[in-house]
């Protein structure tokens, strides 16, 4: 299941990104377009996740105050919502925030790769984005299925380290080059 989920996410998101960049963007120099696209993608994910968390919190409140009967929730759903809310701690919330920051870095990196595929007309960069996206998502899928023998702290630390490496790579390779005779930024 983890392979399917990671591959589906990688193929659908990167293909959508490719089609959007090919058909909806102007050919402009620089990296402003893919950076903005990556920030927009990650920002939209943040909004969807926040709305989802808000809905779960409201349902949890209704369950806790005995007002959820009209929702016709199964016992399993009620237990899952109650368990997720009672198991939440400051630390798990902070890990959720860290995960979103890391996701911003990865979304910008994916966008830069796909933008290069479009602007340089080199489809190999699209496939590199798909492969990178798959490799980022696959461990998370394994962890969700309890098939990765790591704690949430270890997993998030690994993703944070990878994000720092990716950010350094983006800084080194994607920043504007200085014109002849000008000092590098």
Tally the domains of the chain: 1
Q: Is 183 inside any structural domain?
A: no
Classify residue 106 by burial, with Cβ atoms within 10 Å: 0-12, 13-18, 19+: buried
**Domain-embedded: residue 185:** no
Q: How far apart are CA 154 and CA 135, in angstroms?
A: 17
Rounded Cα distance, 7 and 133, in Å: 8
Model confidence over 82-111: pLDDT tens digits?
Answer: 988 888 888 888 888 899 999 999 999 999
Q: What are the helix (H) ranges across 120-146?
A: 124-144
Is 182 part of any domain?
no
Q: Which domain holds residue 151?
A: 2-174
Does the residue 160 lie in any domain? Answer: yes
How confident is residue 33, by pLDDT bands cut at 50, 70 and 90?
A: confident
| Full-model pTM | 0.81
107 assigned to some structural domain: yes
pLDDT in tens, 133-180: 999 999 989 988 989 898 888 999 999 999 999 999 888 876 666 555
What pLDDT score was predicted for residue 174? 67
């Amino acid at each position: 299941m983890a392979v399917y989920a990671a591959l589906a996410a990688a193929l659908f998101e990167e293909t959508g990104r490719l089609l959007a960049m090919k058909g909806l963007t102007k050919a402009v120099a620089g990296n402003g377009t893919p950076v903005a696209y990556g920030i927009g993608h990650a920002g939209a994910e943040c909004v969807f996740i926040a709305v989802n968390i808000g809905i779960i919190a409201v349902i949890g409140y209704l369950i806790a105050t005995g007002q959820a009967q009209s929702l016709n929730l199964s016992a399993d759903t009620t237990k899952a919502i109650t368990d997720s809310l009672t198991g939440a701690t400051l630390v798990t919330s902070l890990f959720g925030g860290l995960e979103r920051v890391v996701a911003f870095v990865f979304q910008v990196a994916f966008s830069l790769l796909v933008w290069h595929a479009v602007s340089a007309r080199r489809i190999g960069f699209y496939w590199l984005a798909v492969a990178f996206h798959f490799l980022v998502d696959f461990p998370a899928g394994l962890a969700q299925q309890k098939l990765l023998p790591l704690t949430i702290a270890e997993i998030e630390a690994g993703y944070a380290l990878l994000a720092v490496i990716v950010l350094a790579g983006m800084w080194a390779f994607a920043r504007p080059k200085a014109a002849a005779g000008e000092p590098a930024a």
